Structure 1
């Protein structure tokens, strides 16, 4: 192993600091002439602007995960939440587990747990938007690249992107025969198997088939008195597949993609009074593999989804490309859980049933489902390929979604008999016309301007046929509402080439999130609506390659204002959500994204982001928790005043560090990869309280192994651990009943064998 000289480390630090400040780094190349290394960082190609471009020359704050880091993060049973805190300003959480991820970028997200919740961070997979939150949980496998675009992306992508965009590009078919297979075994009997194979069917037609199968045993014991059971929760079986066909003509290509998913498992574990009253500590007797629930035996979660897309692309002469992308997605889910997370709190035959752990004011056993869902999208765009200074894109977009939601309430005291039912129906129709223009003013300066007109309409109904409060005279209820709006989104950006290694960019952008409705009326009597939110964002940054291509430092500073931000008042004494608009929200911060070749054997990345968010609305107030200690001022109506609060699930600091070591050994290569992810404290709800401030969370991962080649095969065997120090904190909560919490995953240890073939 080559040792690192102090002068080289000092040079790296100086390069990072000066390039982040916009200083030319040409001097550093001269300083390192005597210490140049043969290996350099690869050029990262992204499609952040629907063209293939060098990420260093795109005037957007974009980070990409690919190669070894992506493989390590996403392998061995991980769901899409593996990206949380791996990329600057990105966090992901869920109260459903593997099926309903909620994304936050630069502090902007949505805590809403209902199944028609819209999010300000859009997910696009193979150029098709995944609007419903259940679609966003599709397993990550055989993926070529993940891009995270921070800041408003409303001109080219359109559907609800005021915070940003997460974009997945799966591995595509090619004429070359290739594939891989991988199997891993880990803690709690977890098995993960995935693989893909692809190649030519004819000289113009190729195909690729990708498969995933994951299985984990139930391992959580139920120790509630009278309901004891071994291994009752925590397990799942996940199956998914993708098949693609690619036709490549002389001036025409067609890509057909079909994908499907089947998940059968347990919902996330709710733990009653797991938070110590008056603090945000876990209770002393907390055990990750134990719950105390009286409805655990009925907890279940099933998800099925499928979809297809067809991308057609024509090269019209040498100057134009016409692209059509047609998509269809469908999802079904049924998820039932013991929401109060405890036992007792009711009477049977006028005899009180002992309750625990702690006080359980009332039982809450409920389920949500999507029995029917269809999403259709169509995009048509024309892009120029001129050799001169001027190029453009124009396009049309259409979106149609029909969504049926079911809400169920069950009487735990009566063996889980149904006592409440609501059916929601939401039909959404949206269309847009968009355009983007690039103009090269000189060898150094390039300017881009974009414009999009969007029209969005939702028709909604909620029909309560059975009320869990019928004993109090609450009966059936039917409500219909509709919301609609249109908006002109725009952006203007400039990229200035300081020198061959440094690009400076600035960007200002405006977009919106369409109006929302919320009709979870099992326990409420109103369908709430939220007006459109609009955001205007300003950012500027430096993208630099330093040390003769052996270092990369990208730094961004940003500021945004959001008018009428859509917020969800979750819980607060009742088991339903209420939509509200905040008059104004502001956010500012910075992002640092770096990558280094430290020697022939060491590579490293270091990312850091700071996000400061603040709600500015003197009149906005929400209901508060049942048993927690509230820090906010309380008005005369008993509501917490939110003015000055940060947004929920918006950590101020996110950081990630990775170090990879490679060493030739015998006929192969030994490797080791370590990563440290950190996110600072979070508020779990709109109001601030002692118990529901999530502590800072640091997780460490390690992977080490050996890889070698024989003929047309490459083999790899590795051992790994995630959350090395088994740090466990409350990362989510239920506030309407008791201090019920959701805790992050425990330490996970496993081993993997993988083979690539050509």
Structure 2
């Protein structure tokens, strides 16, 4: 079947399902343009929302792109307090973690799993169009926002590479021209307390400022099933933001922001589901691991080594500047500047046992500079809009991952035993890009849009592995005939020597592009079709490397997207119905596999590899319906069929040779979605009450390529439990009810996962254990809100 047939089939199928489905939440839930007919008096309509997906303010239903957008107050109402919570409103978005805690973002099946701080993502995150170069920095982004926009599909032309899956753009709440203030105080189960507030207003006639802060504490819900009354997961998170808007003249507008956060929270651990020894021959030497009981099948039970209580210690600070100057009435010059300093010293426990089987202390530091300069203009009575810009980023990072695995089967690979390892990486990346984008209103109904970007990426990577105890280093030294000891680089270099860092440079360039046609036959209808291509940069992983092979760079991947969809405002704007179908032609997808050691010393070695060809066929629909005053029915559904299309022989997580052809992508369920209902009733004198509920669901998926049925392949080292990487289908329910006491005061009670559904988000294999990460148990609480306007 051709790509065109795939696309038409997907779009037709989702349009049909949308037409017969229960009204659902609109992924682009805004009203039609101002010219749309007004609703009869006394009836509600769907509210407008403005987005900046094309780097200018537009109503969301005027943009020929699949976008999920939600306002800041609505985010709070739905309990969206972190980027991970966006899965509640965007079904195709998945948030997981690497084995050492690095966040992994996946959108429409496009994601990248790597433990490295400096790993480039496939879904990039921004605040006010300024990127976070590393995903771990996004922790403080979902705070005091005006709205958030989830842009789906390649966004390379306007947002840059590393957005092949899409982009998430947070829009911070801005200073106001009058005094206003607010406070939200939340208390919930497990001792969770969150307090946030802001003050905003004018300082002079042309200067306004806003100061916001948030403190989060408590919330430990994991409990040890081998040590009674031992809890884990308390949060200690502090966020602050200062913004200043200055308009010294009618043509000049300056925005300054200072963002900072500190995270000293405890981190959750996986639940032990299987014992699979890395070195089966050492079974008799690790009796405590072999005899460890598996975790009970409930939400809260887990285990960890009390000597290594997992905890973050991260600090982030970012000053940023946006300057906009009107060169003429129709041309603006816009400059964006940002500097980020980040440090982290995170102690991770990812083995699910009360022993030193695999722990990690990850010490990280980075300095990141970003600069963008662009011209934006209008032509021919606003029939055409154009953008011409350039970007530059300079990213430096260092990482020192210290692994502790004395109580593990790999520890017995040498005599004396290996006590652990140290992985070192130093990265310096530079990205330069120029881009252009334009849209032209060909007729009153047809608009053409096109964009192109050239990107040049250079990376200098230095990495090596060290052995604090010296026994592994001595063994490798004996193999190559070179004395090696503790804390020396033992990674064997191409010339069969060791003792120094391996230098892995990357020099790449690419051209991303987008072409789109929109047809707007009336004020409430938009049909669009687009073709776009985006790239994710090559990278070098952070691995335990006996030889340099593990540090060989993986080349950039690319994604060619075909998409068509519609946005319909129906019944006097009481129903918004959106749907789209898409086909992704995926080239050189990056993932962890293995490669034979060219030195002929160690057999197959874990490294990043490229899957030559794969594809994604998908469709999605969303709707929001207001059938009567006060009642809103919402929901969204996503269908994704992913597959490796060409033969690709490599290794699964258990070291078995398999052909990846025909396999679906990890963390990519075929079906996912949400449905919701809310009813609001006006009482008297500004008082109103509301009640609402949402259901979030997804079908079965896996967390690793080739992990559905590993027992059928004969898993080496299997001892007990379920060694598969299956993530069963699940659904959970959130509910809320509240009362607006006055224009200033409101109170809400809420419940998340109210039926205490035990569901998995991913599974990880480390040394001798396989563990599942689970969603939070039933959590209920109360929020008191105050607003002064």
TM-score (norm 1): 0.86
Deviations 1:67-95 (A, max 9, x none): 553122346xx422111142142222225
Indicate conservation of the 8 Å contact 1:422/1:466, yes or no: no
Equivalent position of 1:397 in the other structure: 391
Equivalent position of 1:337 in the other structure: 348
Equivalent position of 2:688 in the other structure: 669
Unaligned segments of structure 1, at least 5 residues:
1-11, 21-25, 345-361, 626-636
Indicate conservation of the 8 Å contact 2:418/2:469, yes or no: no
> In the alignment, does 2:104 pair up with 1:102?
yes
Equivalent position of 2:177 in the other structure: 175
Query: Structure 1 pair 271/57, CA: closer, same or farther in 2 (3 Å)?
Result: same
Cα distance between partner residues in 1 of 2:152 and 2:678: 26
Deviation, structure 1 residue 118: 1.6
SS in 2 for 1:162: coil
Q: How does 1:480-491 map to 2 (within 5 A)?
A: 480-491=503-514
> In the alignment, does 2:451 pair up with 1:450?
yes
Q: Which has the higher contact order (CA 8 A, sep 6+)?
A: 2
Deviations 1:146-190 (A, max 9, x none): 111111111011131111111100101121211210111111100
Indicate conservation of the 8 Å contact 1:365/1:410, yes or no: yes
Equivalent position of 1:382 in the other structure: 375
Unaligned segments of structure 2, at least 5 residues:
1-17, 27-31, 278-292, 409-416, 477-483, 491-500, 596-601, 710-723
Indicate conservation of the 8 Å contact 2:263/2:314, yes or no: yes
Indicate conservation of the 8 Å contact 2:191/2:218, yes or no: yes
SS in 1 for 2:156: coil
Query: Structure 1 pair 160/73, CA: closer, same or farther in 2 (3 Å)?
Result: same
Equivalent position of 1:530 in the other structure: 554
Deviations 1:394-433 (A, max 9, x none): 001001100101110225559x997422220011001101
Equivalent position of 1:652 in the other structure: 670
Cα distance between partner residues in 2 of 1:164 and 1:577: 28
SS in 1 for 2:138: helix
Query: Structure 1 pair 238/592, CA: closer, same or farther in 2 (3 Å)?
Result: same
Equivalent position of 1:720 in the other structure: 750
Indicate conservation of the 8 Å contact 1:211/1:240, yes or no: yes
Let me know the Cα RMSD of the aligned residues. Answer: 3.1
> In the alignment, does 2:558 pair up with 1:541?
no
Deviation, structure 1 residue 117: 1.8
Equivalent position of 2:142 in the other structure: 140
Query: Structure 1 pair 705/217, CA: closer, same or farther in 2 (3 Å)?
Result: closer
Deviations 1:264-320 (A, max 9, x none): 12222122236999xxxx968335444333355442221111111100001122110
Query: Structure 1 pair 138/116, CA: closer, same or farther in 2 (3 Å)?
Result: same
Cα distance between partner residues in 2 of 1:577 and 1:234: 32
Cα distance between partner residues in 2 of 1:393 and 1:296: 56
TM-score (norm 2): 0.83
Moved more, 473-482 or 107-116: 473-482
Indicate conservation of the 8 Å contact 2:271/2:295, yes or no: no
Equivalent position of 1:233 in the other structure: 232
Cα distance between partner residues in 2 of 1:294 and 1:40: 55
Q: How does 1:408-447 map to 2 (within 5 A)?
A: 408-412=402-406, 419-447=420-448
SS in 1 for 2:74: helix
> In the alignment, does 2:783 pair up with 1:740?
no
Indicate conservation of the 8 Å contact 1:462/1:521, yes or no: no
Cα distance between partner residues in 2 of 1:559 and 1:623: 27
Equivalent position of 1:350 in the other structure: none
Indicate conservation of the 8 Å contact 1:705/1:718, yes or no: yes
Indicate conservation of the 8 Å contact 1:493/1:508, yes or no: yes
Indicate conservation of the 8 Å contact 1:190/1:214, yes or no: yes
Deviation, structure 1 residue 137: 2.1
Equivalent position of 2:48 in the other structure: 43
Cα distance between partner residues in 2 of 1:187 and 1:276: 36
Query: Structure 1 pair 288/391, CA: closer, same or farther in 2 (3 Å)?
Result: closer
Equivalent position of 1:8 in the other structure: none
Indicate conservation of the 8 Å contact 1:219/1:231, yes or no: no
Equivalent position of 1:351 in the other structure: none
Deviation, structure 1 residue 688: 2.6
Moved more, 266-275 or 448-457: 266-275
Equivalent position of 1:357 in the other structure: none
Equivalent position of 1:265 in the other structure: 265
SS in 2 for 1:473: helix
Equivalent position of 1:359 in the other structure: none
Indicate conservation of the 8 Å contact 2:584/2:617, yes or no: yes
Deviations 1:349-407 (A, max 9, x none): xxxxxxxxxxxxx822222221x201111000101123243331100100110010111
Indicate conservation of the 8 Å contact 2:378/2:384, yes or no: no
Indicate conservation of the 8 Å contact 2:580/2:620, yes or no: yes
User: Number of paired residues?
Assistant: 693
Deviation, structure 1 residue 222: 3.5
Cα distance between partner residues in 2 of 1:497 and 1:159: 30
Query: Structure 1 pair 219/126, CA: closer, same or farther in 2 (3 Å)?
Result: same
1:610 aligned to which of 633, 639, 649: 639
Query: Structure 1 pair 575/213, CA: closer, same or farther in 2 (3 Å)?
Result: farther
Indicate conservation of the 8 Å contact 2:622/2:635, yes or no: yes
